[in-house]
Amino acid sequence: MVNEMINSTREPIGRIEVAPEVLTTIARFATLSVEGVSGLGVTPGEKGHPFRRGGHEGVELEITGDNRLNFDVYVLMDPHVNIMETSRKLQSAVVEAMNKMIGLEVQSVNIHVEDVVYEQGEAA
């Protein structure tokens, strides 16, 4: 869990703990909000368990000892988007969501484009 002491002019009155699952959920929603992302991919941990439900679909998180966040985000992209540009927007969206909602520093957001999803009958 991520622990953060309350910073104010008064004495700290307790701790705030944010479960890692909350962080991955925020990252998932930030990912899916980026135009050009058609869905979440499969993380390496999920590939060995094709029938597993729940878990960390599309997002893996590492929390460093000093509460910095490292994300690996696995995505499927829409066709006809610039993958590099969309990936940069995705990185920014995850960082912005973490800063806005949690206030913790994001050290890295690694994007793994696993596939480009074409609709039936659509050509490359």
DSSP for 62-79, written as a single string? EE-TTS-EEEEEEEEE-T
Residue 81 CA to residue 27 CA, distance in Å, equals 21
Domains of the chain: 18-116 (3.30.70.1350)
Banded pLDDT at 16 (limits 50, 70, 90): confident
> 83, exposed or middle or buried, with CB in 10 Å at 0-12, 13-18, 19+?
middle
Whole-model pTM: value is: 0.79
pLDDT tens, residue by residue, 31-79: 999 999 999 998 886 555 444 434 458 999 999 988 899 999 999 999 9
* Alpha helices by DSSP H, 1-124: 20-32, 44-47, 83-101
First to last CA, the chain: 44
The tokens 């074409």 sit on which residue? 118
